[in-house]
Every structure is written in C-alpha cells, then in structure tokens.
Structure 1
Amino acid sequence: MQALSQLCQGGFSIGVELPLDNDWSPAGQNARLRDGRPHGVPDLRQHAKLARQVDSLGFRALWVRDVPLYDPQFGDAAQVFEAFSYLGYLAGITERILLGTAAVVLPLRQPWLTLKAAVSIDQLSGGRLLLGVASGDRPVEYPVFGADFDNRGEAFRAQVELLRSGGAGQLPDGVQLLPAPAQQRLPLLVAGLAQQTPAWAGEHLDGWLAYPGTPDDHRRRCALWRDVAGSKPYVSFIHLDLLDGPQAPLRRHRFGAAVGREGLIAELHAMRAAGVDHVGLHLRRNQRPLQETLEELGEYVLPCFHH
C-alpha cells in the first residue's frame, strides 16, 4: 500500500478536498446567483488549473466525495463529477499527488464494477489511489439505485470483502478481472463507521476518515481508533477560510475555522499532537481567491509539516 505510506510520510501531511471553488463564501454566492447555479453546485471552470497548482505546490492528496444525486435538501453537489471518472481525469493531469475518495458509497454500486474502476484508477495513476469507502447517508438515493437503505451495513461489509480479496476465488475458472492494481493491495479507508462497530472497522479497514472537529474532538476519537486499529492512519478535514492577515486570530465555525496562517499552523500542530495523520483542507468557505490562498499555503504552511 504505497499510497498509504506516502500519505503518512513524515508523520503528518496536508491535502485538499475538491471542489476547488469558494462558492460558499459571500463572493461565491454572488457569483453563483449571477451564473444561475443552484446552492451547493460549484463553479468548475478553473478546476483543472487549480488541481495542477495543488499538485505542483506539494500538497499530499486530492480528495473527492461521491454524491451520486444532487438533493437540494442536502444542499451540496460535491464536485459534481462522478468520482471514478473524475479521478481518471485527475490522474492524467497530475503527477505526484495522491488521489483519494472521501468516500465511495459502496451499497449504491455494482461491486465488481466498483472493483474494476478502483484498480483502473490505481493503475492509471501509478499507484496513487486511496480508496475511501462509506455506507452512505442520503436515504433518497437508495430506491433510485434499487438498494436497501436499512441493510446498507451488510452490503458494505460484503463489498469490503470483495475489494480486499480482489475477487480471488470468486470468478469462473480462467476468468480474470483486469487490470491488476499498481499497488500490491488497495488501501481502504472508512468514512465514519459505515454502520459497523469500531472493532470491525479497525480490523478490516486500513484507515479512518473522521468527521471534522477540534483538536480535543480528535484526541478523543483518535484514542478510540488507536484502541481498535493500532497505528493505522487517522484522517480528517478542516473547512478553512484563510484570512488575509497572517496573525488573524482563529474564529471557529461549523467544521472548521476562519484564521490567519500563523493560527492555522498552530491548529495543525495541535491536530498532529492529537494523533491526526493527515488533514484535507476544504476551501468552499474561503473568501480570498483560491489561487492566492493556495500559494500562501504552499509557501508558508506546507514547509512546516512536509519535509
């Protein structure tokens, strides 16, 4: 699992969660209304340029969410593109950055096609895939896909077993699923607990994608994860609004904070001390232009943690 080792290289790393649009900021909301986009649907015109910038600056991972259907009641279409299709595109326009799903909703997908899509992305990217998996939390999607919401935990376990085995022993004689993954084994990270017990998740998955929180929240959660999973990676996210003044004090908001870069560095140090191995930055609330914000993060923040 070379991608998992790369994620944790140096003991702590920083990535970015897509979409790369600050459409939840006041200026972004004005642009959305001007363009006639519904709330939660980002502007993707700069996504390729910004993804290349994130890669060249040395961020460790790009994370995409799997939101099959846009439901206005949830108010979030994520990065809009289908997750595996988008990762294939990103694999072609980036060079070093890891490509993660946070996370693929397994019960809504045909298991063998999920496995084929995942190993295809891993091969096309040269072994850069981090496969985050989930059981899903949007009941409206399940009837559309002919899936049972109440039994999604059982379906999740069955798909994890298939992904873990690569389908070995489950195909007719002489039949193969191609291609083989570039990594010896696909790294599987669970989002939340996916209707499972912590003990099951710790035994069968390779990492935890934990919900955003404060360093104190992560200290408690990480202690639980370490108890059931040992040293397997603990990953989380911050909804970041990087303020213009480097010393601007931290003001917490839901799932993150508005803060200058000095306060962000202190917050990331606190998260690392709490046991977090990787943080993905979610920038949809960010009020400054993203290209400018990414450059500042690359120049001043990444060098404090990436060696």
Structure 2
Amino acid sequence: MKIGIHLPQWGQDATRDGVLAVAQAAEACGFDSVWVADHVVIPVTSETKYPYMDGGTPFEPNDGFLEAFTTLAIVAGATQRIRVGTSVLVMPMRDPVLTAKVTATLDVLSGGRLVLGIGTGWWREEFEALSATFEGRGSRMDEQIQLMRALWTGRSVEFHGTHYDVRPVFCRPAPTRAGGPPILVGGMSTAAMRRAAHLGDGWHAVGASPERIVAEREKLAKFAEQAGRSIDQIPISVSTGVSQDIKRTVARLQGLAEAGVELAVMAVSSNTTSAIIAEVEQISQQLNLVADSA
C-alpha cells in the first residue's frame, strides 16, 4: 500500500517553509505523495455541519487556508519524484474549463505527477460566496468530469450538456499522460461510489475505516459491473486521520492494507510542520519506506 501525507494548509505553519519542509521530508522518507484539501473562503457563520467531526471544523477563519493548486505548484517545483494530489477538490464550485487548463498545466510542469481527488462538496455557504449553485452539484460534476477528460485530449472539443455548453475549443498543452491525471472520486455516499465506478479512475473513501471498506466492496463491485468494468479497475484509496501514537497509526495502516486499500492519505491530528515531519519519519522507519522506494 502506498502512503501519502497532507501538507499544512492552515494555521501558523501554512507557509512556504512549512509546506516545503513537509513535502521534502515526505519525498526523502519514501512516501508516495503529498496532498492538499480545497477551501477558497471560510464562511464566518455557517448553518452547514462539517460531516467529518462532531461540531465545528479542524480550522478557524483566522487560520487562513492555502489554495490547493497554487500550493501543489510550489511543491512540484521543489521536489523530483513525489506525486502531488487533491483530497479532495470541490469540483462543482469551480469552472471545469479553467480547472482542466490549470490541472493540465500542473501535470505537465510536474512531469505527470498530479492526482486529482474530487468531490461534490458539503459547505453550502462557501458555494454561495463563490456564486456557485449548491443544488444539483452531483449531476454537474458528472458533466465536469466528461468535459475535462475531453479537453485533456488536446484535440478540438465541442460539448453540449445540461449544465455546460462549449463551442469548439482547444485546451493545450495536453497533460503528460494519455487520459490526463487520474481522477479519484471522493465520498462515502452511494452516489459517489457509483460515480467512481462509471466515471472515475478510483474511489477515494474519505475517512473510512477498514471495516467500512470491506463492507462497501460488494456495492462497489456491483457498480463496476454495471459500468462494464471489474472492481480491480477501480483502486480504493482512503484519506484518514491518524494520531501521534505510532503503534496505533501503523495498526490502522495495516488494517487498511488488509482491507484492499491501495493508497492511504494521512492527516496528522496536529497541523504543525514538526508534528507532521515526526509522523513521516516514524512511519518511514516502521514500514521501511525508504528501502522500498530505493
């Protein structure tokens, strides 16, 4: 199983030095990838509940929040091997043509290292701040995936959908890899799993336990069959919070690997550079990641 780590995106260590220190430590320690989440603004007041915590969010408005693609561009320029990814990009609050251009550029300039985890999003108030419609975001994202894949071919593209209408255009340069960056569809809903099977290059099970992964595999296999695919063609990745107790962290990673997860993206409970790097170094030593990547 490959292992990635979230970069510090908010708080006092969300700086150039902090981000690059974590990214370079992860690369040196044999990690597969570094990851960012996606928020553009933080609403001061919100009636929407954060789905991954009981009350509140892991960050405050005054913490700031580094923009996803800008952060990955800086990291890609300061590293050589490690993949860079979004976990997850909130696609329906972004324009798909502009996003196709930005992601293709980032993929080219990183040497084909971009992985695009995407989701429908949950924060209605953030959508409103960006003048994006919250309702219908799932069907909108379906079209966005199709439109971006078409634009990534580098050929002339004309698209006429329910939500997007594009006259013939070119979007070049095309990404480094044929088909563009892998798209991991994030989310634990039935709709997300169906979307991953029909339109994605993998299912990104946000916050799922090993037990939940095992329980959902049959459903994912059914959706894959409906799409004319095998479940083996839809790799499972997970974003998971981990404690600073190394034994508990290793046990969780081992459990995810046994459940069939191919990539685990870790988010350390502390968002400080020192805590994240300490976790990276301990995981590397425990799992011999440097030796495995040599």
Asked if Structure 1 and Structure 2 have the same fold, meaning a TM-score greater than 0.5 normalized by the shorter chain, the answer is yes
For the 8 Å contact 1:135–1:152, the answer to whether it is kept is yes
Output the amino acid matched with 1:180: A
Matched position secondary structure for 2:207? coil
Change (3 A) 1:166 1:86: same
Measure, in 2, the Cα distance between the counterparts of 1:299 and 1:142.
42
Counterpart-to-counterpart distance in 2, 1:16 and 1:82: 17
Change (3 A) 1:172 1:264: closer
* 2:27 counterpart of 1:55: yes
What is the Cα deviation at residue 289 of structure 1? Answer: 3.5
Compared CA separation, residues 298 and 79, structure 1 to 2 (3 A) = farther
Mapped to 1, the partners of 2:237 and 2:191 lie a distance apart of 18
- Find the counterpart in structure 2 of residue 116 from structure 1: 101
The aligned amino acid for 2:238 is S
Q: Is the 1:234–1:278 Cα contact (8 Å) retained in structure 2?
A: yes
Q: 1:227 to 1:304 in 2, by over 3 A?
A: farther
| Matches of 1:193 and 1:107, distance apart in 2 | 17
1:179-202: per-residue Cα shift (whole Å, max 9, x none)?
A: 210111121111116783633431
Which TM-score applies when normalising by structure 2? 0.79
CA distance, structure 2, for counterparts of residue 242 and residue 301 of structure 1: 16
3-state DSSP class of the match of 2:287?
helix
Aligned partners of 1:134, 1:215: CA distance in 2, in Å? 21
How large is the Cα RMSD of the aligned pairs? Answer: 2.7
Distance 1:233 1:196, change over 3 A: same
Q: Which moved more, 1:163-172 or 1:224-233?
A: 163-172
CA–CA distance in structure 1, aligned partners of residues 271 and 133 of structure 2? 37
SS in 2 for 1:277: strand
**Residues 1:227 and 2:229 aligned together:** no
Give the gaps of 5 or more residues in structure 1: 1-11, 21-39, 244-259
Distance 2:8 2:148 in 1: 26
What one-letter code is carried by the residue in structure 2 that aligns with 1:239?
G
CA contact (8 A) 1:193 1:201 kept: no
Matches within 5 A, 1:233-252: 233-243=235-245
Question: Are 1:235 and 1:277, in contact at CA under 8 Å, matched by a contact in 2?
Answer: yes
- Aligned pairs (5 A) from 1:130-169: 130-166=115-151, 168-169=156-157
Identity of aligned residues (%): 27
The correspondence for 2:73, drawn from 70, 88, 93, is 88
For residues 1-307 of structure 1, what are the structure 2 equivalents within 5 Å? 12-19=1-8, 41-45=11-15, 46-71=18-43, 74-77=56-59, 80-166=65-151, 168-170=156-158, 175-186=169-180, 187-192=182-187, 196=191, 198-229=193-224, 230-231=231-232, 232-243=234-245, 260-261=246-247, 263-285=248-270, 289-303=275-289, 306=292
What is the TM-score when the length of structure 1 is the normalising length? 0.75
CA shift digits 1:253-283 (9 cap, x unpaired): xxxxxxx33x433332221111111111111
